[in-house]
């Protein structure tokens, strides 16, 4: 038979083991919470890194396609289209006209080097809304001519199917009562 002191020692040992197990359990739970938190932070970090890399990849793709030059090319296109009409001005000297022509040729060459092209619609072809801007409408009794080009007023410039400078055009608009009269209303699209 066990003595009371042995029983007491055994109970104390069991209490000590239970306390140790409880501490181990608490530490294990704390470690589990920290591990879950670390895993969450790691996932968030990985997502941030992926998003940053994706943005950088998109920027590099744009640069490879030359997209960083688009704002400059738009300005060059506007200068070419807007001011080329100066060559027709009779008041400027022949030498100045030749210099202007060389300058415009150089600007057009810059556009060409970056795959931009100057275009002009032909009379009767369907209007391309993203590439053209309607300046005037011309009424017509011919239904087949509706929304086709009546006149190109100023050329446009595009690059890879995207507009750098919209072409200004007059378009036919069908009207069964029309006799080919011109509408002076300016429309923007």
Specify the pTM: 0.59
What's the burial of 171, exposed, middle or buried (CB within 10 Å: 0-12/13-18/19+)? buried
Which of the two residues, 69 and 37, has the higher pLDDT score? 37
Please give the pLDDT value at position 10. Answer: 84
Q: How far apart are CA 81 and CA 117, in angstroms?
A: 12
Kindly report the backbone phi and psi dihedral angles of residue 155, in degrees, each rounded to the nearest multiple of 5, phi listed first: -65, 165
Please give the pLDDT value at position 186. Answer: 43
Structure tokens at 54: 């994706």
Kindly report the backbone phi and psi dihedral angles of residue 158, in degrees, each rounded to the nearest multiple of 5, phi listed first: -135, 160
Provide CB contacts within 8 A for 187, sequence distance 6+. 134, 135, 137
Residue holding tokens 């239904």? 143
Nearest to 79 by CA among 99, 98, 97, 106: 106
Confidence of residue 7 (pLDDT cuts 50, 70, 90): confident
| Interval 95-139: pLDDT, tens | 999 999 999 999 999 999 989 999 999 999 999 999 999 999 999
Nearest to 165 by CA among 115, 122, 125, 118: 118
Q: How far apart are CA 116 and CA 159, in angstroms?
A: 4
Residue 172 has pLDDT above 80, yes or no: yes
Tell me which CATH code domain 71-183 carries. Answer: 2.30.22.10
Nearest to 118 by CA among 84, 87, 88: 84
Least confident stretch, 89-93, 107-111, 180-184: 180-184
Structure tokens at 75: 């300005």
Ordered strands of the 149-154 beta sheet: 149-154, 167-174, 132-140, 182-183
Q: What is the mean pLDDT of the chain?
A: 88
């Amino acid at each position: 038979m066990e003595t009371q002191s042995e029983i007491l020692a055994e109970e104390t040992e069991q209490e000590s083991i239970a306390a140790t197990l409880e501490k181990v359990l608490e530490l294990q739970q704390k470690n589990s919470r920290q591990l879950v938190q670390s895993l969450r932070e790691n996932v968030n970090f990985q997502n941030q890194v992926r998003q940053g890399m994706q943005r950088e990849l998109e920027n590099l793709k744009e640069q490879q396609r030359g997209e960083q030059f688009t704002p400059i090319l738009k300005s060059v296109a506007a200068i070419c289209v807007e001011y080329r009409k100066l060559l027709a001005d009779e008041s400027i000297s022949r030498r100045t006209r030749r210099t202007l022509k060389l300058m415009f040729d150089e600007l057009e060459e810059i556009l060409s080097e970056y795959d931009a092209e100057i275009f002009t619609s032909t009379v009767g072809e369907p209007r391309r809304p993203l590439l053209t801007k309607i300046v005037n409408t011309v009424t017509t009794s011919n239904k087949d001519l509706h929304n086709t080009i009546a006149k190109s007023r100023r050329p446009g410039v595009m690059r890879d199917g995207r507009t750098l400078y919209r072409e200004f055009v007059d378009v036919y608009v069908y009207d069964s009562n029309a006799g080919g009269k011109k509408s002076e209303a300016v429309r923007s699209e």
